[in-house]
Each structure stands twice: as structure tokens, then as C-alpha cells.
Structure 1
């Protein structure tokens, strides 16, 4: 198992840290939403994993390039899989929790539908940070 909880006092603190880092990666222009969420989760929970693994998220930005599942959600889902490689049931629970939360916040998990709602909240950079925060909170729960 790659997942290593670090010594941070609360899930909220961890979530805020991961969220800010993901938003920063996105704003840098060097990563899209999926890569940013996955890299921030990697840095917090499994930093022994090579950074190059984040390239696996390259095709998920912008809803996989066609506006389907939000790339930030896809990056978070990938993080769950790497964190819990031998517990598909838990990965499924975490993924469902992330999707349910995202749909509540943004109206749908579809990038094309969520984007207009994201614009009113600060755009994809903020959305990316919020998803990463939620991913960290779910992983810490």
C-alpha cells in the first residue's frame, strides 16, 4: 500500500493544504485539473511514488478532452486507487462520496455542465482546489 497518512492534526488542515497546493499547480499553467489534484494527493499521501506517475492523468483534463467526467474528479479517483490498491470496495465508496459531493456542489460530474457553475465560484482553478480538498478529507476519514 502506498498510502501514508502524515502527522497532521486534522483532516481539515490536510484538506486545506492539499486544496491550496492543487489550485497552485493548476494556476501555474503546468498542470490541468486532473494532474493537479493527483499531484497534490500524491505529495500528501504517497510522496514515495515517482512524480512521473502523475502523467497517467494527462488525458483527463477538460473532461477527457470532450467535456465528460470532470478531470479534477478523475484525478481524485485515481488517487483513491493508488492509495488503496488492494481495497476496491473502499475505493468505490470514496469515489461515490466524491461524485455525490461534486454533483451537489456543481450540479453534475460532467465537465460541460459543471464549468458554468464553476465560473460563478472562481473558475476551474478554484474547483480544482475544492476537489483536492475533498479528496484529502475523504482519504483522511
Structure 2
């Protein structure tokens, strides 16, 4: 299932949605969230490329939002520290939560083709899935 969620996020990204939108749409499909996809697209619209300023990666923002949606709809009753756990996993996996730093590592070709961002988006979807499933199995 983790790989499927990663593929879904990468697929949405390939279709032209930004990193945040792609995570939200993949989470909606994976967890059967009762959210209008157009609503998710709109709330994620301005989180591309670190809120267009190079700050926090939109994939991480989307994953944090998706975590809240899954928590509510599936009654997981997650503690607030779960957001920090997701952030820490993201930083461990990718080296930073800052879009500017992440994109700098991608090189010219990676930036032009957005393949680096696509990989981060897919990887973030996988991190989200792993965290949710670990919490589920411990409850």
C-alpha cells in the first residue's frame, strides 16, 4: 500500500498538480477521505515551491494537512506531537524541510524537469503512509 500511495502522489504531480495538492489527492484516494477533490486542490494551490518563497516544502505541508484529515475522518485521535514526528521523518529522509535547500540539491536538470520534486512528493506520501500505519498498529 505504501508504494501505491507513492505512485498516486507521483501520478498527480505528473498531471501538473503541485507537491501539496498531489499529497492531498493521494491521501484522499488511499484513505477514502470524504473531501471534495476540488476543495483539496484549492487549499493546496499556494503551497507550491515553498509557498513561492522557498520556505517549507509543499509536500510536507500537504502531508501535515492530510494527517489531520485522516485523523479526523478515521478517528485516530493522534496527539499533537504526531506533526513533529512527520516533520522529523521528512528531514531525516530528505535533509531539510526547506524547499530552497531541497531544490538546490536537485541540480539544473532536476529543477527544470521537476523530477527531484516528484521524488520528494512520492517519498513524502510514503512517509505519511508509514506513520499512519505505525500508529494504527499500535492502537
Give me the TM-score of the superposition, normalised by structure 2: 0.80
Does residue 73 (structure 1) correspond to residue 63 (structure 2)? The answer is no
Shift of 1:88: 10
Distance in 1 between residues matched to 2:79 and 2:121, nearest whole Å = 20
Is 2:104 aligned against 1:111? no
- Contact kept in structure 2, 1:33 and 1:124, CA below 8 Å: yes
Q: Does residue 82 in structure 1 map to residue 69 in structure 2?
A: yes
1:95 maps to 83
> Any stretches of 5+ residues in structure 1 without a counterpart?
1-13
**TM-score w.r.t. structure 1 length?**
0.79
Partner of 1:6: none
Pairwise CA distance, 1:89: 7.3
Q: For 1:140 and 1:91, how far apart are their aligned partners in 2?
A: 15
Question: Which residue of the partner structure matches residue 22 of structure 2?
Answer: 36
Between stretches 87-96 and 105-114, larger displacement belongs to 87-96
Cα distance, 1:17 vs. partner? 0.6
Structure 2 gap segments, 5+ residues each: 135-139
Q: CA RMSD in A?
A: 2.2
Equivalenced residue count is 126
